[in-house]
Structure 1
């Protein structure tokens, strides 16, 4: 009887844990030092260029890349100055 109760309790806990998980995207965001423009450096132009580079960096961070200064500078140089504002997906 004890085994049956423990088995049912374990199954109930796993069942509850599967429904408790959030299906939305994880809340990954860029720290201030991972952004293109901050107090230490200004690689991006203000406006759309800054937003576009930060959007690319955020997508890289969501995929697990480590954001380095070399990577930020590279993306800032490769992104055109008249880049349109990135589309926000809900």
Structure 2
């Protein structure tokens, strides 16, 4: 029996035994997925390929750091197929 996304389902077994299980909050999963999609890749290749961007295809938006540090400027671009491999181009 689910009351809401923050509720705890309780199943009573007999008169003195009860089991409780936390119901996962689907909103938390959505937030986590959105946070992951906002991460910035370390280079143009990683911005369009696995392991973090496996769903990217030709034309997908992408981001990567222009330098070696996460303090570097962020380059925004689109994935482009070059020689059969996706690469992020500004």
TM superposition score normalised by structure 2: 0.28
- Greater share of helix residues, 1 or 2? 1
Higher relative contact order (CA 8 A, sep 6+): 1
- Greater share of strand residues, 1 or 2? 2
TM superposition score normalised by structure 1: 0.28
